[in-house]
Amino acid sequence: MYVMLGGFGVHTLAIATRWIVSGRTPATNMHESLIFFAWVTVGFFVFILYKYRVPVLGAFVTPFALFLMIAASFLPSDIVPLSPVLESYWLPFHIFIAFLGNACFALAFFLGVMYLIQDRYLKKRKVQGLYYLLPSLELIDELSYRCLSYGFPLLTLGIITGAIWSQHSLGTYWMWKHRQIWSLITWFLYAALLHGRLTSGWRRKKAAMLSIAAFLTLIGTFLIINIVLGGAHGYTS
């Protein structure tokens, strides 16, 4: 755990250095976005660890962050200037809020996986391996809900600040581009998940599976938009 915290500190310094050198938020291309996402995800995990004391969650977060960093290392890392038309003080707010919301959903995803693993152990009456390390199903379910309840308002704010930034830089709040459309679809998915949990009893295993499905949708659309479609924001020139 101390190794992760040390790595997070070094990661923070690296991001701060790139921010100073580039003169902009270091999350405006695929290379930077993956590194920034890894940093925010680990940072949110540190918050959850401090508040709820669930160190085993780090066994899921660390490989994910490492994967993002390795993937980023294969992408162009040149510092490209931000297109002047897109320069706005709203951009860093939009980026940080959006990535923090995604980090919340990432942890809800890992907690969903943890729930399914623990549930399988209990159904097979196996008390070995991860069973002794994982929290109770009740705690996992509660933490997943907490992450979702943090992530959804952040996703909403991310969409709002993105619209304001778009109006400030491009003269329109909404352009119905791929990223905006899928952000809206993701918003409805998580809104339905939270609504179902609060009103229809979508808890425990069902909530875990839906959290997993929603996050896979989020990641899938992120990769399709940025790799297959070549990105949608057009941050850099």
Whether 234 maps to a domain, the answer reads no
If one compares 237 and 182, the residue with the highest pLDDT of the two is 182
The pLDDT value recorded for residue 167 is 84
Quick one: tokens of 49? 């660890």
C-alpha 70: how far from chain center: 17
Ordered DSSP codes for 177-207: -HHHHHHHHHHHHHHHHHHHHHHS---HHHH
Whether 235 maps to a domain, the answer reads no
Whether 193 maps to a domain, the answer reads yes
CA distance 5 to 19: 21
The pLDDT value recorded for residue 71 is 92
The pLDDT value recorded for residue 127 is 65
Nearest 5°: the CA angle 12, 98, 159 is 160
Which of the four pLDDT bands, split at 50, 70 and 90, describes residue 232?
very low
Whether 168 maps to a domain, the answer reads yes
Q: Considering only CA atoms, which of 154, 181, 183, 180 is closest in space to residue 167?
A: 180
Whether 237 maps to a domain, the answer reads no
The pLDDT value recorded for residue 85 is 65
- Across all residues in the chain, what is the average pLDDT? 86
Whether 45 maps to a domain, the answer reads yes
If one compares 107 and 175, the residue with the highest pLDDT of the two is 107
> 196-221: per-residue pLDDT in tens?
988 877 888 899 999 999 999 888 88
CB 118, CB 138: distance < 8 Å: no
If one compares 85 and 222, the residue with the highest pLDDT of the two is 222
Q: How many domains in the chain?
A: 1
Range of the domain at 42: 2-76+84-228
Whether 72 maps to a domain, the answer reads yes
Cβ neighbours for 150, distance < 8 A, ≥ 6 positions apart: 101, 104
CA distance 10 to 110: 24
Tell me the average pLDDT across 181-190: 88
Where do we find the tokens 């996992």?
A: 140
Whether 236 maps to a domain, the answer reads no
CB 113, CB 219: distance < 8 Å: no
